[in-house]
A = this chain, B = another copy of it.
Amino acid sequence: MEEIERKFLLDAPPSVVEGRPSTRILQGYIAITEDTEVRVRARGDDRLLTAKGGRGMVRREVTVPLTAEQFDGMWPLTEGRRVTKRRWVIADGDIEFEIDVFDGDLDGLVIVEIEFPTPETSGAFTPPDWCGPEVTDDERYRNAALATEGPPDRTR
């Protein structure tokens, strides 16, 4: 099933997250090259390594579970190429809000990703008033870009 997502900037964590459970997410890139990337990710108690890449038709992505010790050993190799944040997931009917409050080098950045079950739901959606500008198609807000380039200049 295709995932339909839209992404909006927020000025601050919205009041809907108050008192709700959240998950700490650490994501770091060990290597980013012209045709491959290798990243590690910790989400709650899960630790994963993902290698992805390839050209044209033969793109591929392989994920391997890591022990906490393996993750801790690799994390220093991601220095300067990290995204760290806390995530709240809030369901509203069949729409899901993922609210990411970044810290570290991206401190101050808050993004909501909204997942829709169908294109119709996405098209009919009116953002709540706590949503700022939409950045769905802005490449600067992809994880690898945030990790290596830092917070985008919102005036551009």
Show the binding face of A for B, using Cβ within 8 Å: 30-33, 36-38, 49, 51-54, 58, 60, 62, 64, 66, 70, 73-74, 76-77
B30 touches A53 (CB 8 A): yes
Rounded to whole angstroms, the CA-CA distance of A64 and B72 in the bound complex is 12
Rounded to whole angstroms, the CA-CA distance of A53 and B36 in the bound complex is 17
Which residues from chain B contact A64 at a C-beta distance below 8 Å?
49, 64, 66, 70
Which residues from chain B contact A60 at a C-beta distance below 8 Å?
73, 76-77
Copy count, this protein chain:
2
Which residues from chain B contact A49 at a C-beta distance below 8 Å?
49, 51, 64
Rounded to whole angstroms, the CA-CA distance of A37 and B76 in the bound complex is 13
Closest chain B residue to A52, Cβ basis:
B77
A51 touches B30 (CB 8 A): yes
Rounded to whole angstroms, the CA-CA distance of A71 and B107 in the bound complex is 37
Return the 3 tightest CB-CB contacts between A and B, nearest first. A31-B31, A62-B73, A38-B38
A70 touches B77 (CB 8 A): no
Closest chain B residue to A62, Cβ basis:
B73
Closest chain B residue to A78, Cβ basis:
B36
A57 to chain B, nearest CB (A): 12
Which residues from chain B contact A38 at a C-beta distance below 8 Å?
30-31, 38, 51
Rounded to whole angstroms, the CA-CA distance of A29 and B74 in the bound complex is 17
A78 to chain B, nearest CB (A): 9
Which residues from chain B contact A52 at a C-beta distance below 8 Å?
77
